[in-house]
Amino acid sequence: MTAVMNPPQPPRAEPTLQAPIANASMLEDKVPEHLKASATTAGFAVVLGLLFVFLSFRPLWHTDLWGHMAYGRLIVATKSLPATEPLMPLSAGVPLIDTAWLSQVIGFEAMSRLGNTSLSFLYAASITAMALLLVWRGYQRTQSAAITLAGLLLWFWGCWQHLNIMRPQMAGMLCFTLLLTLLTSRHRRTWHWIALPVLFAAWANLHGSFVIGLVLLAGFAAGRMIDLAVRCGDFQAIRQDSHVRRYVLMLELAAVSVLLNPYG
């Protein structure tokens, strides 16, 4: 009697269910319109991001920098501003007015708490912030990416000698750019009247170039007056113009705000 062995059968494969493919035409965009970025905005973001990375890896030029850090260290240690020159032996006893004391303190505190790399961050962030403000206002006025980038390159070419060195002057340049952005706004905002005195009070303690900000405000007021005088030829039109009154009031408010400093 012989037994017949049947060969083993392979296990039967169970049919797999494929998930239905979503119909892209049925998807609904939930992103609010004010959060959507255009291709131009994305391009500007890439340019500014690359600029920040480039500046972050640049070595900090030694002139001015460590001298200001030494002043900041002295101010933090003594908790007061020196009345006479404290660091240069040949100028010992000479009265000193340190208009950049706040920049020096910020720089020294950042370096002592976060390390030397924090200075590189402050350097890169300051220049990138200035570039951002110029790009924002430039594109808002021209609606041309090419003209905006050309203006940015022209600014770099004209100011690179000053941007090349990290010093309190850079804080003054940032304040100037903020003021220019505020003055060239097409819309009058209530918060402008708060931002202006805060800006000048900080500027007067960060760097002595706040005087240039006052000159800029006076220039806007004078320019508007001259424009009205040429177009209207009537002094009454100048007196009644809201832009002239706004610039003059801003100038007076800024002039009072800069008095908020240790020297009065």
Query: Within its chain, how far is the Cα of 94 from the centroid?
Result: 35
Q: How far apart are CA 135 and CA 139, in angstroms?
A: 6
Q: Dihedral, CA atoms, 39, 40, 42, 47, nearest 10 degrees?
A: 140
CA distance 20 to 9: 33
Among 165, 176, 163, 166, CA closest to 203: 176
Q: What CA–CA distance (Å, rounded) separates 140 from 176?
A: 19
What is the chain's pLDDT, residue by residue, as a tens digit (264 residues)?
Answer: 455 556 666 666 566 656 666 666 666 777 787 777 888 999 999 999 999 999 999 999 888 899 999 999 999 999 999 999 998 888 888 999 999 999 999 999 999 999 999 999 999 999 999 999 999 999 999 999 999 999 999 999 999 999 999 999 999 999 999 999 999 998 888 999 999 999 999 999 999 999 999 999 999 999 999 998 888 877 888 888 899 999 999 999 999 999 999 997
**What local confidence, expressed as pLDDT, does residue 2 receive?**
52
Contacting residues for 136 by C-beta, under 8 A, at least 6 apart: 181
Cα 159 from chain centre: 15
User: Which distant-in-sequence residues (6+ apart) come within 8 Å of 198 by Cβ?
Assistant: 257
Q: What is d(CA 176, CA 162) in angstroms, rounded to the nearest whole number? A: 14
Distance CA 198, CA 126 (A): 18
What per-residue confidence (pLDDT) applies to 156? 94
| Cβ-contact 188, 195 below 8 angstroms | no
What's the pLDDT at 1? 47
Q: How far apart are CA 178 and CA 187, in angstroms?
A: 15
3-state SS, residue 84: strand
The type of residue at 248 is V
